[in-house]
């Protein structure tokens, strides 16, 4: 019988699991938030991922449930697990990707290097942290943030008043996360894949460039990463995957600091933007690897196939109509570039595709990737 994988969430991450699912002979089904989403090329059901009955009915038709986002509520996940559904990553792991405060506390227990942090429930408590950290800090809403939404640099305790007010209104006694403002030279990401039976593989550490809180560009492997940096990042990735019991792909976002430390920023337990380069630049793409891992199949080789890969995100711009013509233009002008499209309407700032170029000369590869991506700019 064909093995069936169920992906909750219909975005581009689910979409990019479709091709490797076909190659591996798997059937892939998607529970999408609405009609016409990026992943609707797969057998798609539309429904609310927060509703237990909906998710349960979806889970009944598949052999394993996995995700393209981290928002399925814990009670839904736990109900599925108690009913014998294979859920990967499971709720015990996923909680650390769902709530940044829970993550910080657990990573501290594991002895992982992190920015100084605290849970704060009032402007007074935030002031205490600011006083101890030179008057500046980063405040984060622990849940539901993405692409820099829910992250704010503050210079005064009053600058988070609206978020404290929202907490008070919510009435569940929650807190905000405050972190020291890290002086970093660059951001890195370390991906690992882990199977339920414990096998684990690590991808090369990559450099990520963010613009306005959104990933703009990824260079794999991270340039100027000596053996030490690569080993430190890999050890952190493996320790977190094992310590948190992650199954499937794990991405650990890292800061490299001005004083040469590596600090954990945040976690994603699914394929991640920092790993899109693996589709064209690694022996096993993160999407194939995620499927293998959640099915507890032997993992593929995570090594790079080229010396360098550069991945550039294509974002919707203010004056684009349909992007179809531009994709064709990019293909015509840059035949070495691998063009990936998500089938999404190009709203400003929205991730609608990416391009990846691989090769043995970093300057050449980066130039070609940026040139191909620039075809989409207004
Ligand atoms: P999101 O969950 O929205 O991706 P992150 O926690 O990854 O939010 O933060 C988004 C970006 O904000 C990071 O990529 C980094 O550039 C910056 N940032 C986050 N935390 C810190 C920090 N403690 N110090 C300095 N910059 C930070």
pLDDT the model gives residue 247: 98
Among candidates 242, 236, 250, which has minimal Cα distance to 286? 250
Q: Is 133 exposed, middle or buried (0-12, 13-18, 19+ CB in 10 A)?
A: middle
Determine the average pLDDT of the residues in 270-290.
98
Q: For the chain, what are the domain ranges?
A: 4-87, 116-180, 184-374
pLDDT the model gives residue 350: 87
CA distances from 169 to 116, 158, 164, 174 (A): 28, 17, 9, 10
Structure confidence by residue, pLDDT tens digits, 124-163: 999 999 999 999 999 999 987 666 678 999 999 999 999 9
CA angle 179, 180, 186 (to 5 degrees): 105
Separation of CA 261 and ligand 1 centre (Å): 16
* Omega of the bond leading into 221 within 30 degrees of 0 (cis): yes
The answer to which of 144-153, 183-192, 267-276 has the lowest mean pLDDT is 144-153
286 versus 347: the higher-pLDDT residue is 286
Q: Tokens representing 169?
A: 């209104």
Determine the average pLDDT of the residues in 48-64.
98
Does the CB atom of residue 367 touch ligand 1 within 6 A?
A: no
Determine the average pLDDT of the residues in 203-218.
94
* Calpha distance 346→333 (Å, rounded): 21
Separation of CA 126 and ligand 1 centre (Å): 18
- Helix then strand count (H, E) for the chain reads 12, 17
Check whether 320 has a pLDDT greater than 70. no
| Beta-bridge mates of residue 248 | 194
Determine the average pLDDT of the residues in 62-83.
97
pLDDT the model gives residue 327: 83
Q: Quick one: what percent of the chain has pLDDT higher than 90?
A: 85
Confidence of residue 168 (pLDDT cuts 50, 70, 90): confident
Check whether 295 has a pLDDT greater than 90. yes
In the DSSP assignment, the letter for residue 304 is B
pLDDT the model gives residue 172: 76
Q: Quick one: what percent of the chain has pLDDT higher than 70?
A: 97
Separation of CA 80 and ligand 1 centre (Å): 32
Q: Tokens representing 310?
A: 């550069």
CA distances from 190 to 47, 202, 232, 243, 264 (A): 33, 8, 10, 15, 10
pLDDT the model gives residue 43: 87
Confidence of residue 322 (pLDDT cuts 50, 70, 90): low
First to last CA, the chain: 49
Question: What is the CATH T-level fold of the domain 4-87, as seen in this structure?
Answer: Rossmann fold (3.40.50)
Structure confidence by residue, pLDDT tens digits, 109-126: 999 999 999 999 999 999
Which residue has its alpha carbon closest to ligand 1 atom 9? Answer: 148
Q: Is 197 exposed, middle or buried (0-12, 13-18, 19+ CB in 10 A)?
A: exposed
pLDDT the model gives residue 321: 59
pLDDT the model gives residue 212: 85
Check whether 171 has a pLDDT greater than 80. no
Residue 309 · residue 365 · CB < 8 Å: yes
Does the CB atom of residue 99 touch ligand 1 within 6 A?
A: no
- Any idea which architecture 116-180 has in CATH? 2-Layer Sandwich (3.30)
Does the CB atom of residue 116 touch ligand 1 within 6 A?
A: no
**CATH class of the structural domain 184-374:** alpha beta
* Calpha distance 336→333 (Å, rounded): 9
The answer to which of 43-57, 182-196, 281-295, 338-352 has the lowest mean pLDDT is 338-352
Check whether 17 has a pLDDT greater than 60. yes
Q: Tokens representing 237?
A: 């990735």
* Omega of the bond leading into 316 within 30 degrees of 0 (cis): no
Check whether 80 has a pLDDT greater than 90. yes
Average pLDDT over the chain reads: 94
Among candidates 179, 152, 155, 180, which has minimal Cα distance to 166? 152
Confidence of residue 60 (pLDDT cuts 50, 70, 90): very high
Q: Is 52 exposed, middle or buried (0-12, 13-18, 19+ CB in 10 A)?
A: middle
Does the CB atom of residue 200 touch ligand 1 within 6 A?
A: no
SS3 category, 39: coil
Could you identify the atom of ligand 1 that is nearest to the CA of residue 182?
24
């Amino acid at each position: 019988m064909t093995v069936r994988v169920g992906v909750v969430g219909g975005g581009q991450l689910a979409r990019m699991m479709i091709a490797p699912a076909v190659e591996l002979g798997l059937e892939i089904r998607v529970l999408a938030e609405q009609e016409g989403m990026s992943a609707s090329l797969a057998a798609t059901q539309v429904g609310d991922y927060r509703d237990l009955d909906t998710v349960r009915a979806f889970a009944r038709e598949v052999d394993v449930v996995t995700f393209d986002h981290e928002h399925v509520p814990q009670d839904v996940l736990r109900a599925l697990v108690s009913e014998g559904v294979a859920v990967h990553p499971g709720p015990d792991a996923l909680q650390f990707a769902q709530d940044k405060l829970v993550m910080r506390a657990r990573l501290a227990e594991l002895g992982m290097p992190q920015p100084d942090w605290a849970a704060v429930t009032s402007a007074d408590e935030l002031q205490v942290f600011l006083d101890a950290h030179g008057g500046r800090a980063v405040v984060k809403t622990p849940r539901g943030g993405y692409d820099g939404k829910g992250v704010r640099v503050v210079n005064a305790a009053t600058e988070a008043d609206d978020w404290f007010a929202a907490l008070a209104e919510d009435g569940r006694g929650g807190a905000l996360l405050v972190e020291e403002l890290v002086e970093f030279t660059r951001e890195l990401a370390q991906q690992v894949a882990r199977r339920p039976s414990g096998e684990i593989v690590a991808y090369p550490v990559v450099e990520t460039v963010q613009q306005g809180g959104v990933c703009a560009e990824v260079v794999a492997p991270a340039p100027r990463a000596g053996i030490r940096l690569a080993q430190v990042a890999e050890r952190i990735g493996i320790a977190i995957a094992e310590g948190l019991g992650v199954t499937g792909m794990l991405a650990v976002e890292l800061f490299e600091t001005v004083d040469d430390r590596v600090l954990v920023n945040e976690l994603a337990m699914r394929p991640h933007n920092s790993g899109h380069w693996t589709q064209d630049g690694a022996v096993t793409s993160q999407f194939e690897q995620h499927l293998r891992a959640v099915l507890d199949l032997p993992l593929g080789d995570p090594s790079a196939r080229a010396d360098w890969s550069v991945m550039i995100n294509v974002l919707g711009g203010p004056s684009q109509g349909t992007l179809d013509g531009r994709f064709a233009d990019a293909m015509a002008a840059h035949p070495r570039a691998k063009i990936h499209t998500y089938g999404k309407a190009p709203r400003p700032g929205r991730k609608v595709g990416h391009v990846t170029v691989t090769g043995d000369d970093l300057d050449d590869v980066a130039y070609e990737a940026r040139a191909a991506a620039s075809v989409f700019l207004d």
